[in-house]
Amino acid sequence: MIKYQLNFRTVRISDITHLVDLINSAYRQQEGRSWTSESEIVAGDHINAKQLEQALTQDNFQLFVAELEEQIVACIGLTFTQHDVEIGTFCIAAQLQNQGIGKYVLDFAERYVHDKVLSNPCHFTHFVMWVLSVRYELIAYYQRRGYVQTGEVADYPLTANVGLPIVDLHLIEMRKSVKSSVSSN
């Protein structure tokens, strides 16, 4: 794994166009070393500018970008609910995948939440993420990172305008204790 000097910051409105391109490229195009592409299982864009702008107006949502040499190369979103933090909008530029950047980005998000827990210990207890049921390599990756499948399954969100499934898809819930994230980082 290559060691990177990533700079993390919250997203700016001026980043939206670039982020839409980055997210759609990571999720919907197969190029180079990309292993997160959904191009063979979901058709259409993953996100558009209006959806991203709308997400950024939510009080319980924070989106972070990771920059490498002043270029945005990744993003990760955190949605804070009563006791859980849902991880989503997580992607790495396709040409930089399989080089360990995802680990750094996920570590950053987990540390950020853990620091919030330390300042307010009665709040967040678990990280939650939803993974496409046929993305076995991602499920295995998150399991190596300490996430476990809960058995909770949801229908693919056909009305959310996040693409149309080409194959039978469901969402699999995975969880990890916020406290356990400290020992795995």
Fold of the domain spanning 7-184: Aminopeptidase (3.40.630)
3-state class of 176 per DSSP?
A: strand
| 10-residue mean pLDDT series, the chain (185 residues) | 79 95 83 64 85 94 94 96 92 87 94 76 83 92 96 92 88 90 54
pLDDT at position 90, please?
Answer: 94
pTM over 0.95: no
pLDDT at position 1, please?
Answer: 46
Tell me how far apart the alpha carbons of residues 26 and 151 are, in angstroms, rounded to a whole number. Answer: 27
Tell me how far apart the alpha carbons of residues 27 and 17 are, in angstroms, rounded to a whole number. Answer: 16
Among candidates 30, 21, 51, 26, which has minimal Cα distance to 162?
Answer: 51
The domain spans of the chain are 7-184
